[in-house]
Structure 1
Amino acid sequence: MEIKELQKIIQENGVVGAGGAGFPTYMKLTDKADTILMNCAECEPLLKLHRQLLEKHAYEIMKTFHMVAETVGASEAIIGIKRSYTQTVNALKQHIEEFPGMRIHLLDEVYPMGDEVVLIYEATGRVVRPGGLPIEQGVAVFNVETLYNVYRAVESGKPVTDKYVSVVAEVNKPVTVRVPLGCTLEEVVEQAGGITVKDPVYFVGGPMMGRIGQPSDPVTKTTNAILILPKDHLIVQKKQRTSSIDLKRAASICCQCNTCTDLCPRNNLGHPIDPARFMRAASNHDFQDLNPYINASFCSSCGVCEMYACPQSLAPRTLLADMKGGLRNAGIRPPQGVQPVPVKESREYRKVPEERLMARLGLTRYDKNAPLDETLVPVPKVRILLSQHIGAPAQAIVKAGDQVERGQMIGAPANGLSVGIHASITGKVTEVTDRYIVIAKM
């Protein structure tokens, strides 16, 4: 298959990165990639769906991965997977000899192994420059569910209309379910047999990089997990803090131990992000050297500094994110052409063990099986966002009153970086705005 042909199939069927920010997958297909990586590192604690999906559909996903490698002309296809996922690794080993040029790379149980910059270094030894893209190093990275969506688009012409979501923590029966895009978080959580705490908090995504959501929020193409947590949980409290107070706390109690920088995954790969210098400068209103502020642009927001490293429970990640946002709003772009310094020899001793991370965050008791149920959950209504990806929102091509079938395109790709959006249920369009489309079963 030609690259342009595959790009068109992927774009029209709405395939985007299913594990991160939703980068349109068709744009990753290029003959500049000599290596492609499958990300099955399940970056955050408690997330399980990628290893489950890969175990159950190993052949289909590996076949698609091989097809992508042949299409772009990559000489190597690497499956990055944690060695502790023994059942999934065994499923891969059953088929690996069928796909020349493909190999399995076993990863340690550390965080943030799923960060593509970290994964690329672990699997290939290549370092992506600060602010750079993996393709500059000849690498393209795809996660497991994304490749499964490519498989369904290519083999069956099926667009992305549903999402796999793990529901864990304070629920009776942790589970990974398949739900229509646009259903509510509450409808997803109902599949886990009920909530076990009063005044629950819906935490969407992983515990390190996720956000607090509302029960009525719609599921999107990047919704990976819902953690139900008590309102007094450490993670919830950290997310609800105020930046202005965090800055004052830093000014009063930061002990200058430098641990936030010592354990920073990007800093250890030679990137110029330095949380300790930033905290020292920001808390003292020191603007003699602007580099600590400008280099905030290179922070990956993994949260190691804030959620694990700091002995004073300060908030470097949050304050760095505020600074990144301020720079963007001011039209200040990250410095171009910055090259990393050599990877630190001490990096191997500064990795964050996931088991210890879960214990520190009070999550160990939630680390339970969440079996995969692929039965599509029925819902009466969906609210499908037109922007579920990086780039321009899709443009609605239906109007209120139209009857639509599941899988029908309801939002066409816009000019520029964009993908199609499709009906996730069969029914009647009841509302169309510039942000979303509502469909109700009749």
Structure 2
Amino acid sequence: MEMLELKKALFEGGVVGAGGAGFPTYAKLSDQAETIILNCAECEPLIKVDRQLMTDYVDEILSGMQMLVDTMGANEGIIAIKKSYLSSIEAVKSSIENYKKLRLHILPDIYPAGDEVVLIYETTKKIVEQGKIPITVGCVVVNVETVLNVYKKVTKDENVTTKFVTVAGLVKNPITALVPIGITVKKLIDMAGGFLEEDFIVIMGGPMTGKICSVFDVVTKTTKAILVLPTSCPPVTKRQSTTKSNLKAAMSACSQCSMCTSLCPRNLLGASIKPHEFMRAIANGITYNVEPFMNTFYCVSCGLCEMYSCHQGLSPRRLLDEYKNGLRAKGVKPMQKPNGPVNRLREERKVPEHRLINRLGLAKFDVAAPLVTCETGMKEVKLLLRQSLGAPCKACVKVQDKVLKGQIIGMPEDGALGVCLHASISGTITTVNDNFIIIVSGDE
């Protein structure tokens, strides 16, 4: 398939990054790519999606990777899988010899192995300089579910209408469910047997970078997990803290031990981000040196500093995010400067995922979440018009219209970065506004 043809198909098919921020996949395709890397690191603890897809859909995913490698004219495709994903590794080994330009790379069980900058270094030893993107070193990183969606669009003309989501934590039967985009969090939790306790907080995404959500929020193209967690566990208490309390804690308790910087995965690869210097500056009102504040742009917000490194329970990541977002809102852009050398102690400072899970108090929730399909019988979906990075879609349907599953119901404006949005069930449009579209099935 030609590059322009594939880009058009992925735009029309609604394919975006299924494992993170949701960057439109067509925009990643480049004839400058030398290496395509499949991210099967499942960066966040407790999420079970990618490893299971890699086992159950191995030939579809490897075929999708081969398509991407061939279309972009890349030299190779790397299948990067954590060493503990034994079934996934075995599945790939049984099939990969049929794909000439693909090779398997075993990743260490560390956090955050799924950060694309860390992943690129682990697989190729190339450094993506701070403020730049992977294609500057000839790399394109794609998620497992994203590649499965590419394969389905190219071979079966299937648009993106479903999502694989892990439901775990305080639920009776943890699962990884294939569901229509637009169903509620409550519906997913019901599929997992319901709540185990009455006192809980729901996080959409992983325990490190996810967001607290309501049971009435809905699944989007980027929803990877729904975690029902105790109100007392660190991933919850950290998210409930305020900027004011975090700043006061930094002013009164930060000892400048520098552990946050010593274990920072981006700093270990030579980036300028130094959380302890930032904490020193805000704790002491240091404003004559803007560098600690400008360096916030190079923080990837993995959360390791506050969830693992800091022995005083401070919140560097949350404060870094606050300042970084404030600078962006005022139109400030990051300075262009190269990385320093890779830290010679990097190997010794990698954080094992099992230790992180224990530190988070989540070990008892790290259990199997079997793959199930729950596509049928959905009476209603609410499809957000912004489901990815880039421009939101504009509705191209109206109330009372009848639509079929897979039909286009929204598109970005001409020339804007974005992809099409499709009906995830067949039914009648009951609501259309600037933010979402509601479809009720014909059985309702």
Instruction: Tell me, yes or no, if the aligned pair for 1:7 and 1:29 is still in contact at 8 Å.
Output: yes
1:346 aligns with 2:345: yes
Q: Distance in 1 between matches of 2:246 and 2:226?
A: 27
Deviates more, 1:354-363 or 1:412-421: 412-421
Q: How does 1:289-438 map to 2 (within 5 A)?
A: 289-336=289-336, 338-415=337-414, 416-438=416-438
Matches within 5 A, 1:13-412: 13-336=13-336, 338-412=337-411
Unaligned 5+ residue runs, structure 1? none
For 2:126 and 2:247, locate their aligned partners in 1 and report how far apart those are by CA, in whole Å: 36
Residues 12 and 413 in structure 1, CA contact (< 8 A), matched pair in contact too: no
Q: Could you tell me how far 1:233 is from its partner in structure 2?
A: 2.3
**Alpha carbons 1:178, 1:377 under 8 Å: kept:** no
Runs (4+) of structure 1 moved beyond 6 Å?
none
CA contact (8 A) 1:163 1:178 kept: yes
Alpha-carbon shift at residue 244 of structure 1 (Å): 0.9
Distance 2:195 2:94 in 1: 39
Q: Report the residue type matching 1:218 in the other structure.
A: V
- Distance change in 2, residues 1:225/1:260 (3 Å): same
Report how far residue 9 of structure 1 moved.
0.2
The CA distance in 1 between the partners of 2:377 and 2:136, in whole Å, is 43
The answer to whether the 8 A contact 2:129-2:338 is kept is yes
Cα RMSD over matched residues? 0.8
2:379 maps to amino acid = P
Deviation by residue 1:290-314 (Cα, 9 ceiling, x = unmatched):
0000110110000010100000010
Q: State the Cα distance separating 1:288 from its structure 2 match.
A: 1.3
Mapped to 2, the partners of 1:119 and 1:440 lie a distance apart of: 42
Separation of aligned partners in 1, 2:309 and 2:164: 31
SS at match of 2:215: coil
CA distance in 2, matches of 1:174, 1:185: 14
| Alpha-carbon distance between aligned partners in 2 of 1:374 and 1:40, rounded to the nearest angstrom | 21
How far has the Cα of 1:289 moved from its partner? Answer: 0.6
Report the Cα distance in structure 1 between the residues aligned to 2:57 and 2:26, rounded to whole angstroms. Answer: 22
> 1:199 deviation in Å?
2.9
Q: Distance in 1 between matches of 2:349 and 2:425?
A: 47
Count of residue pairs brought into register by the alignment: 441
Distance 1:431 1:101 in 2: 47
User: In structure 1, the residue corresponding to 2:172 is in which secondary structure?
Assistant: coil
Partner secondary structure for residue 391 of structure 1 = coil
Instruction: Tell me the CA shift for residue 377 of structure 1.
Output: 4.8
TM-score by length of 2: 0.98
**Paired residue secondary structure (1:95):** helix
**2 CA distance for matches of 1:176 and 1:123?**
28
Question: How far apart are residue 375 of structure 1 and its match?
Answer: 4.0
- Give the TM-score of the pair, scaled to structure 1: 0.99
What's the % identity of the aligned pairs? 49
The answer as to whether partners of 1:273 and 1:298 remain within 8 angstroms in 2 is yes
Q: CA deviation at 1:169?
A: 0.9
Aligned letter for 2:131?
G
Mean Cα displacement is larger for which, 198-207 or 215-224? 198-207
Could you give the per-residue CA deviations for residues 247-282 of structure 1, whole angstroms, max 9, x where no partner exists? 111110111100000000000000000100000001
State the alpha-carbon separation in 1 of the partners of residues 271 and 396 from structure 2. 44
